Amino acid sequence: MLLIADSGSSKIDWATIDKGGNVRYFETEGFNPYYKKTEELYKTVEKELLPMIDKDLVEEIYFYGSGCSTDSKKMNVEYTLKESFGHIAVFIEHDLFGAARALLGKQEGIACILGTGSNSCYYDGKEIVENVPSLGYLYGDEGSGTYIGKSLITAYLQNKLPGSLKKGFENKYNMSLEAILDASYNKGRPNIFLSSFSGFISEHISDNFLKNMVRVSFEDFFHLQILKYKKYDKATISFTGSVAYVFRDILTEVAKKFKVKIGKIERKPIHGLVEFHRQ
């Protein structure tokens, strides 16, 4: 049995493929080795995943993880998974490589992630051959839920939200300046906190103020990511992630503005990864 994981900061999507080709899907708490210790991944696997599967049937694990971009991070994750599953074949790759396989299969193109964070790459059908570095929520993540949420919070704190939106925001969250700053600077996982406000934006996306906020965020992503690739104007560009999917109409508009060809826009890469590994 194959066990496949698409791991992000918010959640991990798991899938098993048995020898008969049958697929089962599971979801657990997210993991990113830059924000969490590997012990937390071990606890998540033990408490949330293993009760739902027979670990003795697992022969290979393909783990595509946010933050699994260096050899040391990959080794830490591999070691942790082997603690739970024993000494089986474990393959650790960055979630961006997983997105490329899920979206493009064995075709050439640009693969993008727009979820809690953002990233992109040029994929030649086998490997990532170009990557504009994603600088995380402090210095980058343009177009992501964190980036959009930060824009909303900034507009609220600077009293720039239109009256009806401001009232709706306060009714929903009832957060003081102190509480917002405390969650942003003093508590764990500030990127998740900021990204959570993208839900409010999606609920009120008919408002032109918020629609323009999302549009500008996507334009920033295109300027700082997509346009950096040499063949961006000739490549098919595909997206995965909740933000790309929920705001796909605006994303498509922005793509037309930059005269690029959109391929797939998928909410999750896990289904594409299942199809890739079935082959």
Query: What pLDDT shows up at residue 270?
Result: 95
**pLDDT of the residue at 167:** 92
Do 121 and 269 meet the contact criterion of CB atoms below 8 Å apart? no
Q: What is the mean pLDDT of residues 94-120?
A: 93
Residue 111 has pLDDT above 70, yes or no: yes
pLDDT number for residue 137: 62
Percent of the chain with pLDDT over 70: 96
Q: pLDDT tens digits for 250-266?
A: 999 999 999 999 999 99
Q: In this structure, what token pair is assigned to residue 38?
A: 């590997």
The structural domains of the chain, ordered by start, are 2-99+271-278 (3.30.420.40)
CB-CB contact of 221 with 143 (8 Å): yes
pLDDT at 160 exceeding the cut of 80: yes
Pick from 144, 185, 163: nearest CA to 10: 144
Indicate the pLDDT class of residue 226, thresholds 50, 70 and 90.
Answer: very high
Q: What is the pTM of this model?
A: 0.84
Confidence of residue 135 (pLDDT cuts 50, 70, 90): low
Q: List the one residue out of 13, 65, 16, 57 whose CA is nearest residue 38.
A: 65
Residue 92 confidence (pLDDT) above 90? yes
